[in-house]
Amino acid sequence: MPTRGDRWLTGAGLASLVLLAVGLRLIPIVFVPSMPYPDEIFQTSEQAHRLVFGSGLIPWEFQLGVRSWLLPGIIAGLMEVSRIVGDGPDYYIPLVAISCAALASLPVVCCFLWGRRLFGLSGGLMAGAVVAVAAELVYFGARTLCEVLAGHLLVAALYMLEPCYRVTSRWRLFASGALLGVVLVLRIQLGPAVAVVALWTNWRAARERAPAMLAGAAAVLAAAGILDTLTLGYPLASVWRYVVYNVYYGVSSTFGAEAWDFYLRGELGVWGPVSGLLLLLAILGARRMPLLLIAAITILAVHSSIAHKEYRFIYPAVLLIIVLAGIGLAQIVTSGMRRLRTASVSATIAASVFTTLSLIVWALASLMVWTGPTLASLRYSTHDNLRAASFVARERAPCGIGLYGLGGNDWAYSGGYTYFHRPLPIYWPKDVAALAAYAAGFDTLVYAEAPPKGLGFTPQKCFGQVCVARRSGSCAPLPMMAMPFPDPVARPLDRSP
């Protein structure tokens, strides 16, 4: 039986890992903000801002009811809570980021618990540390992307089902089914992986386990159906419409198509010379926990078969592989400690030597990934734009905001009303002629390409490649520009009466 000192050491070690994980994941969101994918704002936080504050750009997915309001609704609740302390992005952006980072610490906790059960406390700390400091997980972990949040919940569900002992508790099985249900609602493309997990964990004891799991999943799907009915018109409307627009109309293919090996080549590029280390550790971990590897391969296979591919889509698979790497490294450390003990080296020295060396190796590998070309470019993606938007939010209130220099796509990289936090019109003219036509509608211009001098804008401050300029005078009440629609959707709408 563990002593009070053992329990204190376990609690302190786990708390330290969680705090480390949360703190690291706040860096690319709060301290050095970046936004590599516009969906992070416009599919989630922007719609939450619209619910709470009344202003927000509405992308085509929300105009046509393709997206569930589940995640925007949760973020809206956090924004509302932030108003207790103060109003504006300086309050709600950190709160949302901290909440997402806390959720991202779930895999750290699960990996720690797996490692402790398999290899003792030192193994648990090592396994948890691998997940806590892994570069890809640090960069993506606190982002408001459906695939990211779904990945964290998938790991939690796997731990609930496979904690390295046989699970018989109906409440635990119900909770795991509910978590898998939320994963489905957040990211329907993870359906095959969820099915694999359900089949694997119920294959030999379906009568004992399946009813409770199915009940948990059904409860979540019913709640999601009710939410869609209230917000979109009928049960699970967001799922059916998502399938129709992306499969029947082929909308997703308009955003680009990649070869089947896009993700494999991408991950090899991200990890570079330490790819072999990651694969070795993951294979070692998979010998203990094969289900995690099977789920990761399923996710990778499904997404590789879809033409439209983005790095972020396979975050759940990357997360599972890194969890396995944590288990694998814990196994190596434990084996090394045993060898040193047989060589008459004290247990304390053995643990210290192998733990320290292993942490240094993994930390250096993570640092190489963090400073590598892929993550280095992502870490500063739209960083200048977000700094400029924050500057506008803190300055004297404008009467209108213009965005210029990115060919009419400026809205996607601006941070939207989530960052500007001003209840006023925003314009994004695509060329000089459109800029001149709309210039009367705004007195503040955020630009990546200098505007003509005749428009009267005077530069105030520059943030890297993006500058903010203002002009004197008032703003004319010009209508805002329409949000863009993908061609496969726009054509049927143009033909409608």
User: Residues 330, 411: one domain?
Assistant: no
* Range scoring the smallest mean pLDDT among 2-6, 193-197, 364-368, 385-389: 2-6
Query: Which of 345, 363, 378 is a domain's end point?
Result: 378
pLDDT band at 7 (very low <50, low <70, confident <90, very high): confident
- Considering its fold, how many domains does the chain have in total? 2
User: Residues 338, 400: one domain?
Assistant: no
Q: Between 4 and 387, where is the model more confident?
A: 387
User: Residues 361, 419: one domain?
Assistant: no
Alpha helices in 162-190, H assignment, sequence order = 170-186
- Per-residue pLDDT tens over the stretch 159-171: 999 998 889 899 9
- The pLDDT, as a whole number, for residue 25 is 98
Please state, in angstroms and as integers, the Cα–Cα distance from residue 161 to each residue in 171, 203, 239, 318, following that order. Answer: 11, 13, 26, 20
Q: What residues have CB less than 8 Å from 60, skipping those under 6 apart? A: 66, 483, 484, 485, 486, 489
Query: Per-residue pLDDT averaged across 175-202, rounded?
Result: 97
Instruction: Give a yes or no: residue 487 inside a domain.
Output: no
Examine the pLDDT at 46 and tell me if it is beyond 90: yes
Query: Which of 347, 378, 409 is a domain's end point?
Result: 378
pLDDT band at 342 (very low <50, low <70, confident <90, very high): low
User: Residues 320, 372: one domain?
Assistant: yes
Query: Which of 330, 345, 378 is a domain's end point?
Result: 378
List the structure tokens of 212: 């409770």
Q: 248 is in which domain, residue-wise?
A: 4-378
Question: Which residue in the block uniquely carries the two structure tokens 């399923």?
Answer: 298
Instruction: Give a yes or no: residue 62 inside a domain.
Output: yes
Instruction: Give a yes or no: residue 488 inside a domain.
Output: no
Percent of the chain with pLDDT over 90: 84
User: Residues 245, 324: one domain?
Assistant: yes
- The pLDDT, as a whole number, for residue 205 is 85
Examine the pLDDT at 291 and tell me if it is beyond 90: yes
User: Residues 170, 157: one domain?
Assistant: yes
The C-alpha torsion from 122 through 126 and 127 to 133, rounded to 10°, is 150
How far is Cα 431 from Cα 6, in angstroms, rounded to an integer? 66
Instruction: Give a yes or no: residue 417 inside a domain.
Output: yes
Alpha helices in 233-346, H assignment, sequence order = 237-243, 262-271, 275-288, 290-304, 315-342
Helix (H, G, I), strand (E, B) or coil at 469: strand
User: Residues 411, 352: one domain?
Assistant: no
Please state, in angstroms and as integers, the Cα–Cα distance from residue 354 to each residue in 123, 234, 343, 359, following that order. Answer: 11, 57, 14, 8
Considering the chain, what is the average pLDDT of its residues?
93
User: Residues 463, 337: one domain?
Assistant: no
User: Residues 433, 454: one domain?
Assistant: yes
Write the CATH number for 394.
3.40.190
List the structure tokens of 95: 């709160």
Instruction: Give a yes or no: residue 490 inside a domain.
Output: no
Instruction: Give a yes or no: residue 352 inside a domain.
Output: yes
User: Residues 314, 446: one domain?
Assistant: no
pTM: 0.94
User: Residues 466, 395: one domain?
Assistant: yes
* Closest among 411, 460, 454 to 432, alpha carbons compared: 454
pLDDT band at 142 (very low <50, low <70, confident <90, very high): very high
User: Residues 115, 150: one domain?
Assistant: yes
Examine the pLDDT at 177 and tell me if it is beyond 80: yes
Instruction: Give a yes or no: residue 483 inside a domain.
Output: no
Instruction: Give a yes or no: residue 66 inside a domain.
Output: yes
Query: Per-residue pLDDT averaged across 435-448, rounded?
Result: 97
Please state, in angstroms and as integers, the Cα–Cα distance from residue 263 to each residue in 42, 312, 333, following that order. Answer: 25, 10, 30
